Amino acid sequence: MMGRKAVNLILLVALCGIAAVGWTVQSDPSKPNDVFLPNMVESVPYDAFAENPNYADGKTLQQPPDGAIPRGAVRLHYSTGTEEAKRAGQELRNPFLLTDTEAVRRGSVIYSRYCGVCHGGTGKGDGPVAMRGFPPPPAFTDAKSLAMTDGELFHMLTYGGENMPSYATQVSQEDRWKAILFVHIIQQKELAAAAAAAAAAAQAPAPLPSPAAAPPAQ
């Protein structure tokens, strides 16, 4: 059996050991602690914005080569203006169909994020931005909007119009086509609602004569 003194000595040594470890481990949260196997903490490759001696300009992030386009993107050979919009209208086709529910669903997400602020939820041109002084766009059910082909609409979203800004940097080409599908869904809904309202108005009974027209009570 170990004597009581020996046990106390062992406990004292252990206490001193713990105190020493506690003292070496920093309690200042603004400074990093000692790290075991630091290669797991520090990145071996160059960080995106770190200096890099391997390139002439000393940067890790390099400019893409001239003429590079994002993956999946199609190079567009158009410029701004109505003539170019007409040419896009003849040459470009929407790669997605209105029957593609997944594409329409994605189009509705894009529309509510980027387009409704000006065009409004039902495409009447009454979004909050248009209500606060921005030149309001025409309703999607205007004859001019209905006559525009998908290619012309794509040109409008890509290069902008008279007042409509370009959405080429914010919305990918695929998503632009899908947003156009959703514009068609809005057009269909609004036209159907207008037709139903017109039919209801035609069927409504003639208004009753107003009380003022009745002979005064005796």
- Contacts with ligand HEC by CB under 6 A lie at 111, 114-115, 117-119, 129, 134-135, 137-138, 142, 144-145, 153, 156-157, 161-165, 167, 171, 179, 183
Using alpha carbons only, how large is the chain's radius of gyration in Å? 34
Q: Which is nearer to ligand HEC, 87 or 185 (CB)?
A: 185
Q: Which is nearer to ligand HEC, 90 or 170 (CB)?
A: 170
Residue 76 and residue 177: Cα distance in Å, rounded? 14
CB of residue 105 vs ligand HEC: minimum separation in angstroms?
A: 15
Contact 48, 61 (CB under 8 A): yes
CB of residue 44 vs ligand HEC: minimum separation in angstroms?
A: 42
CB of residue 166 vs ligand HEC: minimum separation in angstroms?
A: 10
CB of residue 91 vs ligand HEC: minimum separation in angstroms?
A: 18
Contact 178, 104 (CB under 8 A): yes
Q: Which is nearer to ligand HEC, 60 or 126 (CB)?
A: 126
Task: Write the DSSP string, 139-204.
Answer: PTTSHHHHH--HHHHHHHHHH--SSSPP-TTTS-HHHHHHHHHHHHHHHHHHHHHHHHHHHHHHHS
Residue 75 and residue 4: Cα distance in Å, rounded? 86
Q: Which residue is nearest to ligand HEC (CB)?
A: 161
Q: Which is nearer to ligand HEC, 64 or 70 (CB)?
A: 70
